[in-house]
């Protein structure tokens, strides 16, 4: 009976907490690079993913297999950014843990890219990606500092400073920066946000009735143990 109670107690804890999952993902495989945007490949329940797009200061003059490529990064223009994100359904919120993505610049493309979020209206970067020449960069970015997110959320990638990836002068408008899948020992993993989706605090969350039922069974079990002892 005690064992049963412990199992029930564990079930109560599980019923009350959401599991980490892919919140939204974009598959860059087979993308030509110069497409207008990349549609999301999937999203968790209660999540609507946005297209991955370029800000109006960027162009799509160049292809780049398996990517969303971009150019026009010269100078300092507030509209030079790549943006993607998602919308959370009413009554729900997301707690993000990670963003997975691969990136690459050409030698004259941006050398330093900052990852910004809509949580603070893209004011301060939560992560910095350094592009070394035209090498690929694999990034697993910790987003746990963003807290719980209701409504619309997006990430923007802006250049920090204006120095090209080969450290040989200012970023050129003909230089490129692309978003690719994350590469891990032979396999490509979609660009993705990982986190948990749960009912907002203060609303009536779906898992709670289950937790209450389980708690009831747990108390019955506990009563059984007490009877046995006395
Ligand atoms: Ca520009
Ligand atoms: Ca620039």
Q: Which residues contact 152 (CB under 8 A, 6 or more apart)?
A: 85, 86, 87, 88, 118
Cα(76) to ligand 2 centroid in Å equals 5
- The token pair that represents 53 in the structure block: 């797009």
Q: Is residue 209 helix, strand or coil?
A: helix
Residue range 76-115, pLDDT digits in tens: 999 999 999 999 999 999 999 999 999 999 999 999 999 9
Q: Is the pLDDT higher at 9 or at 32?
A: 32
Residue range 160-219, pLDDT digits in tens: 999 999 999 999 999 999 999 999 889 999 999 999 999 998 765 555 555 555 555 665
**Nearest ligand to the C-alpha atom of residue 72:** 1
Cα(72) to ligand 2 centroid in Å equals 8
Cα(39) to ligand 1 centroid in Å equals 23
- With a cut of 60, say whether residue 71 has pLDDT above it: yes
**Nearest ligand to the C-alpha atom of residue 161:** 2
Cα(81) to ligand 2 centroid in Å equals 10
Max mean pLDDT range (6-15, 112-121, 206-215): 112-121
Cα(68) to ligand 2 centroid in Å equals 18
Domains of the chain are 20-205 (2.60.120)
**Nearest ligand to the C-alpha atom of residue 113:** 2
Cα(71) to ligand 1 centroid in Å equals 7
Cα(33) to ligand 1 centroid in Å equals 17
- With a cut of 50, say whether residue 1 has pLDDT above it: yes
Q: What is the DSSP string of 4-58?
A: HHHHHHHHHHHHHSPPPEEEEEE--TT-EE--S-B--SEE-TTEEEPPBEE-TT-
**Nearest ligand to the C-alpha atom of residue 57:** 1
């Amino acid at each position: 009976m005690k064992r049963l109670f412990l199992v029930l107690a564990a079930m109560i804890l599980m019923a009350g907490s959401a599991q980490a999952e892919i919140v939204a993902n974009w598959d860059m495989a087979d993308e030509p690079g110069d497409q207008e945007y990349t549609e999301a490949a999937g999203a968790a329940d209660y999540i609507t993913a946005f297209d991955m797009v370029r800000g109006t200061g960027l162009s799509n003059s160049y292809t780049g297999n398996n990517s969303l490529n971009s150019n026009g990064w010269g100078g300092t223009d507030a509209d030079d950014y790549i943006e993607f994100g998602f919308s959370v359904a009413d009554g729900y919120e997301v707690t993000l843990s990670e963003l997975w993505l691969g990136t690459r610049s050409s030698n004259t493309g941006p050398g330093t890219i900052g990852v910004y979020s809509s949580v603070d209206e893209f004011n301060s970067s939560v992560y910095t990606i350094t592009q070394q020449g035209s090498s690929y960069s694999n990034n697993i970015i910790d987003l746990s500092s963003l807290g719980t997110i209701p409504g619309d959320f997006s990430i923007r990638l802006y250049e920090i400073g204006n120095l090209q990836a080969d450290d040989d002068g200012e970023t050129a408008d003909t230089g490129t920066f692309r978003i690719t899948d994350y590469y891990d020992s032979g396999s490509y993993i979609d660009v993705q946000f990982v986190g948990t989706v749960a009912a907002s605090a203060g609303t009536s969350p779906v898992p709670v009735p289950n937790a209450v039922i389980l708690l009831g069974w747990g108390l019955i079990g506990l009563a059984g143990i007490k009877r046995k002892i006395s």
